[in-house]
């Protein structure tokens, strides 16, 4: 997000809506996410949403990233 829009809860609100949509409307059994290790803001958001680290995986770009499960009702 652009700096002037950070810290206002927009990312949290949008993430909660997307997670709810995936579980409630699309019927997904799991919602997972990942980010680059140095993306502190994204990791903070995932943890705020209740994300639980599931595993570490190597991606096609050669980097390893943590995969987080996002619970229902985030």
Q: What is the pLDDT of residue 10?
A: 95
User: Which value, in Å, is the radius of gyration of the alpha carbons in the chain?
Assistant: 13
Q: What is the pLDDT of residue 74?
A: 52
Return the CATH number of the domain spanning residue range 3-70: 3.40.630.30
**Closest CA relative to residue 74, chosen from 8, 1, 21:** 21
Q: What is the pLDDT of residue 33?
A: 98
**What residues does each domain of the chain span?**
3-70
The yes-or-no verdict on residue 29 having pLDDT over 80 is yes
Calculate the average pLDDT of the chain. Answer: 95
pTM of this structure: 0.88
Residue 26 dihedral angles phi and psi, to the nearest 5°: -95, -15
């Amino acid at each position: 997000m652009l700096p002037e829009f950070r810290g206002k809860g927009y990312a949290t609100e949008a993430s909660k809506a997307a997670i709810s949509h995936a579980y409630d409307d699309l019927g997904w059994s799991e919602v997972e996410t990942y980010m680059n290790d140095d993306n502190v803001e994204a990791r903070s958001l995932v943890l705020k949403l209740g994300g639980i680290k599931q595993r570490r995986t190597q991606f096609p770009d050669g980097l390893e990233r943590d995969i987080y499960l996002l619970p229902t009702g985030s």
